[in-house]
Amino acid sequence: MRMHSGPNDIFGDVSEGVPNPLIPHVHPYPTRYHGPIWNQPMFTKPFVQTQYASAPYAGLGAISGTNASLLISVQLLSAAASGYHGYKRHGNSPTWGLLWAALGLAFPIVVPAVAVGQGYGKPEKKG
């Protein structure tokens, strides 16, 4: 076992017997004491933005113009109808009305269909 290290030792001067933790060195694997290996992958090809990443292909199939107006009106109508149904079905509860309205806004076709299936605006049967 060596008693003294040379000047090129990975731990620096250990003549006192204790490695200096402040000396940076390359460790073969990352540990909590020695830090990560800073070798980063290098990409050799340039970044190219795809033509489909911008309008009219950005988000939800490019809903714009008349289609957007139609979708928004259907969502708002669904939210209003679903909110009314939730309010009446659960004993005039505003909380249930808001919940049903939010669901009607998020799912404008499914929630009104469920409301019709439950009996639109009729109170829930107990028992």
pTM of the model: 0.51
pLDDT of residue 124: 85
For residue 39, is it within any domain? Answer: no
* Residue 87 belongs to a domain: yes
At 98 the pLDDT is 96
Answer whether residue 91 is part of any domain.
yes
Please give the tally of structural domains in the chain. 1
pLDDT tens digits, the chain, 127 residues: what are they?
Answer: 455 555 656 655 556 655 656 666 555 566 666 555 565 666 666 766 666 655 555 555 556 667 778 888 999 999 999 999 999 999 999 999 999 999 999 999 999 999 999 999 999 887 6
Among the listed residues 94, 88, 96, the one whose alpha carbon sits nearest the alpha carbon of residue 123:
88
Element (H, E) at 115: helix 110-118
**Is 53 a domain residue?**
no
Q: 104: Cβ–Cβ under 8 A, 6 or more apart, which residues?
A: 75, 78, 79, 80, 81, 82, 83, 111, 112
The tokens 């505003």 sit on which residue? 94
pLDDT in the model for residue 10: 60
Question: Can you tell me the distance from the alpha carbon of 65 to that of 43, in angstroms, rounded to the nearest whole number?
Answer: 40
For 77, the domain range is: 63-118
- 7: cis peptide before it, omega within 30°? no
Q: How far apart are CA 35 and CA 10, in angstroms?
A: 14
124 within a domain of the structure (yes/no): no
Tokens of 81: 């109808």
DSSP reduced 3-state for 23: coil
The pLDDT value recorded for residue 103 is 96
Q: What is the pLDDT of residue 39?
A: 59
Q: Which pLDDT belongs to residue 104?
A: 96
Determine the pLDDT at residue 70.
87
For residue 95, the model assigns a pLDDT of 95
